[in-house]
Structure 1
C-alpha cells in the first residue's frame, strides 16, 4: 500500500483532535486524522454531560474547605471515589492539584481559561452550522439543584461572583424549579439556572459529524496506533502515514506520545461513568440537572436519560468499578421517574487533567514539528473547537485570538 503523506498528522479523533484537524484544514493544511478506532468520538468524547459550558468562569479546583477535604479523604463524598491501595499512585498528582488550587493560583487559571470559555459556544455554533447538524444543539441551559441552605448560599455567592464577567443566572425557588422541571421530586433549598450554555443531546454524534465534515472537505481519516509514532528526517510517521508536523491530541492517552520522547508532563486522569435509562411513562426532562449535594447529573440525551457520576481517582486502564453509578441510581430515581436501563452496563471514560486545570496547547520545545493539544479536564467537549482554532493559528503563523502563553508545556519546566 502506498504511503499516505500530508502536511499534518493529528493523533486522536475525539472532540479535541477532530476540531484541531478541521481548523488546520481551514488554514489550508492537508491533514490526516489518525485514531485507533474506525469512528470519531468513541472514547472520552462519547461520555459527558453534553454541556458546552460557556458560563464556567472558574474551573473545578481542589477544595480548600477542611471539612470537604476530610470528607474526600474518608471516601464519604458523593463527588469522588478512590481505593486506598491505589492512593500511592495518584497522591503525588493530587498534591500538585492541591497546590495549584490556592485562591491566587485558581484565579490565575480561571483568567487564563476565560478567553477560551468565552468563545466556546460561538466556535461550536460555526462548526455545527457547517456540518449541517443543528438538531444536535439545544439552547436550554442547565439547572444546579441544592438540598441544603448552606450549599445554596455558596452557589448564590458564586453566581454573583461570575456576573461581573457578563454571565447571567437565575436563582430558583421550589415553585420555579417545578415550572421548569415538572417531573422532579425532592426537598430542595433552591436551584441556580444557567441559561447561556448549549446542550448537545449526543456528544459522540457531534464528534462524528465534525469528522464527516473534515472528510467531505478533503481530509483523510485513517486507523492507526499512536504508539508507532517515529521522528524521521523531514517529519513524523505513524503506521503508513507521514507528515512534516504532528499534533498529539490523545486526551488521557497523550502520555503514549510525550513520555517516550522524554517529556515529564503531570497528566492525570479523573475517571467517570454514565448509564442511559428510559424515562417512565410520559415523564420529560427539559434540561441537564445536577443534583449538587448528591454528586450526580441527569441529562436528556437522544439515547435516553443519561445518568453521570462524579470523579473516580484510579489508574486510567484499571478495570471499571461502577460503584458511583450504583450509589447514584436510587437517588436519581427518587429525583426523576426513571425506567429500565438502555445500556447493558455502565460506560466508563477518563478525563485528561493537568494540576492547574488548563490544557497544554502549543509546540514541543525539543522536537521540531511536534505539537500538543490535550489536558482539557472537564471541558473537552466545551473547548475542543476553540482550542483547535488557537492551535491552528499558532501552527500557521496567524495572529492568535488570545495569548497562548498560559497553555505552554514549558510551564511545567
Structure 2
C-alpha cells in the first residue's frame, strides 16, 4: 500500500516577501514585486525590470564564514529550508537516514561563475577562488541543506529549467509514497538577475522589454510580451502522512498526484497541440482521483509570454474538458513575483497549499485585455474567497519539461 504524503512546513524567500507568511499575505493582496533592476547598470540592456529579492540578509541563516562560501542561490535555498524546517517542527522526529533532500536549481551559481570568470580574465587563473566549483555547481544547495539538517536519506538535485522545483516536489512525493524516506526537504532556488543571464534571455526574445512594472508581467492578457526575471528560494517539507498525524504536526495540505512529461519538440518553444502538458495534468489528476467538475484551483505556469499562455490554456481544456476548465479558478502568481525559474514551482506550490488552507484564491494582477486564445477564468486583479478542496500547479520548462502537482485540502478531525 502506498504511503500518503503531507506537507508540514513551508519556507520562502521571494520578490514579495522573505518568509512564507509575508509571501502569502502579499499574494492575496496583489502586491507587485517588479521594479527597475538595481543589481547592474541597465543602460546597455534591452531589459530594465526584474522581480528582485529585497532586504535579504544571509547572516540571519548562516554564519559569515559559511555565507562567503555559498553562492546567492544556495543562500536563498538554505534560508527557505531553515524556515520550512522550523515551521514543520520535524527535526529530531525522524532518523537521519530517513530524511532526504530534493532541492534543485535551473542554473546554479551564476553569480559565482561571472565573478570568477572576470577575476580569471583580469588577474589570471591563480586568483580564481578555491571555492569556485563548489559554489557554482547546481547540487550545492541540496548538499548544504543536507549538511545543515543531517539529512542522510535520498538526496538529489533536479534541473529541469522552469519545472525544476515542481519536479523536485513530485519526486520527493514519490520517495515517501514508495517508502524510501519518511520526510523530504523539497523545492528549488535561483539567483540569476545579472547582466549576463538577462542578456541571454532577452536575446532569445523571452523577456519583457518595457519600463512600466504594471504592464510587465501580465499573464493571459492580450498585451503580454515576455516574462519578467524573478529570483528566490522556496521549500516545502513533505512527510509521511501517518507519521505527521502521530506527532501532531500541522498539515497544510496533502500531495496526491504528480504528472511528468516532455514535449520532445523544441529547446524553448512549447508544442502547439499542448498534448504533453495536458498529459502531465491528466496524470496528476488521475493519480489524485479528482472527480470531474470538482471545484478546482489551478496555479498556472502563466509566464506572460505569447506562446506559453495560449498553449497552457489549451492544455487545461484538453486535460480537463472545456466545461471543467472553464469552471476552475486559475491564477498566475508570476504577475506578482515574476518568473523565479528553478524556484518558481515550489513558490507556486506554496500558493496552492495556502489557497487550500485559507480558502482564498490569489489573483492574477494587472489583467486588463482578454485574449480570445486565453478564454478561461484567470481570477483577475482581486483575490476570491472560494474554499476549494483541490488544487493543481503546472510548470513548463525549456527543453520541453512539463510537471503538474495535485494537492488536497486537509480536513480537521
- Say whether the fold is shared (TM-score over 0.5): no
> Which has more strand, going by share of residues?
1
Higher relative contact order structure (alpha carbons within 8 Å, sequence separation ≥ 6): 1
